[in-house]
């Protein structure tokens, strides 16, 4: 280990290698509050070449390696549960190329998701993976998720109903294999011969190879967006309204659902946007198009919502007001502090038509343990994010909250869904994997793992039970 640190310093400089206890404590956790793990060192490569060399170094010494972007994983994915070295992409933060003719951007893995859009907006383009709740309306106030992390978790976000998830945006990857070798997969075109290694690597949670750079698809921004707010006095009616909007043939960009408790939290904080606090649930829908197209679509959606039992429907055309509403939505997780001291947030998916049912199950899973559950999530693609509130000062509440979360995820699987939408299996959900796959399927995944990483050095202790 001393040898590794010495050589890593020669390679990355003094500041590129952290190994003092005071520094390492900062890297003991990711967004998952329930677990900790101490790395021996954290290293900061700046380029593909440096990443390759430092990974090779770890390989030579047989040291486990864990990738880390901004550490927003909710499953312990970026946590060094087995020690080893953390490879941070914090310094690999450059947008390398914007190629409008081929509609792609080439970025380093540590680029913050939102930076691409900040950069593209003035060109009339967007990278359509907007990780809703991690976005900060006040830019620069906080770290947010990186492209590398998005790829490792195949993240979705608020717009995936229309534009698909991260894997749908990828054209090419530069990866570093566990032995330090660099591979360039794909490029600027749509399709590649041979096996789809991009598909395989996306969502593999850093267990197969490191993502160093990515070629991502960018698309033109529509001229106009219109936001529709619908108020419901029944949570399951809001769930059913989502299905009705989809069945109507409308193609909203985003459909977010917030329940009463979530609205209460938001409206108690600095991002209050005047959302109706008396509603049992609010649906927030965005449509886009040319000015007449967006107007027509929003009118259609409003009509469907009224017919589906919405007790109030408001169409917001003013971009300034709409921006405030979306910022409020995106601050929902942070605002939870106003309604409860702690929370566990889960990340399950369900087939969309089971939405109403799943919401009732989530609420009941909390209620029977004396816990409140807030819901604020991507309804369009059936990706639930129940927030189970608890107070860690009360003995046993934390355990009950975790238990309720697991019960909700198991219900997701029973309803035909999955145990994770966009924050990974990681460490926390390993034991749930057999609920989704047979022993033989898991063996097949392990064989693939071994093909990439024969020494099992990459992010050990993750995904597999």
**101 part of the interface to its own copies, by CB under 8 A:** yes
Residues 289 to 348: which contact its own copies by CB under 8 A? Answer: 289-290, 292-293, 296-297
Residues 142 to 181: which contact its own copies by CB under 8 A? Answer: 154, 156, 160, 164-165, 167-168, 181
**36 part of the interface to its own copies, by CB under 8 A:** no
**Rounded CA gap, 266 and 339, in Å?**
9
Structure token digits, residue 264: 């209460």
Least Å from the CB of residue 196 to its own copies: 5
Least Å from the CB of residue 366 to its own copies: 23
206 — alpha (psi -120 to 50), left (phi > 0) or beta?
A: left
Measured N-to-C along each axis, helices 355-367 and 397-414 cross at an angle, to the nearest 10 degrees, of 160
Least Å from the CB of residue 80 to its own copies: 21
Closer of 88 and 224 to its own copies (Cβ): 224
**352 part of the interface to its own copies, by CB under 8 A:** yes
Out of 34, 90, 136, 251, the residue judged to bind its own copies by CB under 8 A: 251
Instruction: Report helix, strand or coil for 332.
Output: helix
Residues in CB range of 395: below 8 A, 6 or more apart: none
Neighbours of 123 (CB within 10 A): 12
DSSP 352: G
Residues 437 to 456: which contact its own copies by CB under 8 A? Answer: 437-438, 440-442, 444-445, 447-452
Q: Which of 305, 273, 274 is nearest to 287 (CA)?
A: 305
* Torsional sign, CA 437, 407, 241, 291: negative
Structure token digits, residue 461: 């202790």
The β-bridge relationship of strands 85-88 and 65-68 is: parallel
Site string for its own copies, 174-203 (x = CB under 8 A): -------x-x-x-xxxxxxxxxxxxxx-xx
Structure token digits, residue 121: 């907006």
**465 part of the interface to its own copies, by CB under 8 A:** no
Site string for its own copies, 385-414 (x = CB under 8 A): ------------------------------
**429 part of the interface to its own copies, by CB under 8 A:** yes
Least Å from the CB of residue 151 to its own copies: 11
Binding footprint of its own copies, residue count (CB under 8 A): 84
Least Å from the CB of residue 398 to its own copies: 24
């Amino acid at each position: 280990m001393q040898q590794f640190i010495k050589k890593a310093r020669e390679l990355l400089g003094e500041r590129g290698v952290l190994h003092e206890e005071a520094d390492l404590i900062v890297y003991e956790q990711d967004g998952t509050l329930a677990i900790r793990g101490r790395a021996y060192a954290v290293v900061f490569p700046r380029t593909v070449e440096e990443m390759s060399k430092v990974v090779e170094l770890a390989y030579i010494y047989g040291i486990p390696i864990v990738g880390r972007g901004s550490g927003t994983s909710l499953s312990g994915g970026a946590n060094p549960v087995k020690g080893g070295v953390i490879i941070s992409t914090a310094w690999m933060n450059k947008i390398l190329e914007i190629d409008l003719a081929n509609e792609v951007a080439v970025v380093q893995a540590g680029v913050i998701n939102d930076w691409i859009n900040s950069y593209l907006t003035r060109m009339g383009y967007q990278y359509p993976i907007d990780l809703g709740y991690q976005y900060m309306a006040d830019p620069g106030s906080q770290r947010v998720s990186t492209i590398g992390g998005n790829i490792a978790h195949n993240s979705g976000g608020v717009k995936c109903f229309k534009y698909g998830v991260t894997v749908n945006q990828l054209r090419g990857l530069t990866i570093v294999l566990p032995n330090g070798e660099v591979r360039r997969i794909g490029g600027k075109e749509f399709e590649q011969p041979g096996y789809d290694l991009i598909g395989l690597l996306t969502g593999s949670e850093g267990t197969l190879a490191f993502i160093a750079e990515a070629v991502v698809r960018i698309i033109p921004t529509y001229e106009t967006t219109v936001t529709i707010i619908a108020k419901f006095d029944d949570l399951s009616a809001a769930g059913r309204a989502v299905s009705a909007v989809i069945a109507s043939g409308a193609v909203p960009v985003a459909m977010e659902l917030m329940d009463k408790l979530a609205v209460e939290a938001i409206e108690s904080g600095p991002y209050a946007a005047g959302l109706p606090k008396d509603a049992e649930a609010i649906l927030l829908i965005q449509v886009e198009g040319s000015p007449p197209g967006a107007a027509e679509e929003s009118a259609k959606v409003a009509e469907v919502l009224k017919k589906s039992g919405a007790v109030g429907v408001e169409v917001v055309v003013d971009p300034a007001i709409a921006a405030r509403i979306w910022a409020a939505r995106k601050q929902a997780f942070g605002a939870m502090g106003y309604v409860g001291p702690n929370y566990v947030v889960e990340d399950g998916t369900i087939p969309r038509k089971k939405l109403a049912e799943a919401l009732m199950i989530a609420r009941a899973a909390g209620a029977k343990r004396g816990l409140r559950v807030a819901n604020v999530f991507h309804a369009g693609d059936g990706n639930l994010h129940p927030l189970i509130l608890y107070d860690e000062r009360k003995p046993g509440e934390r355990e009950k909250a975790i238990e309720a979360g697991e019960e909700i995820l198991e219900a997701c699987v029973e309803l035909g869904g999955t145990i994770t939408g966009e924050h990974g299996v990681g460490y926390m959900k390993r034991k749930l994997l057999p609920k989704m796959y047979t022993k033989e399927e898991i063996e097949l995944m392990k064989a693939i793992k071994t093909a990439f990483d024969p020494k099992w050095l990459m992010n050990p202790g993750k995904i597999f039970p």
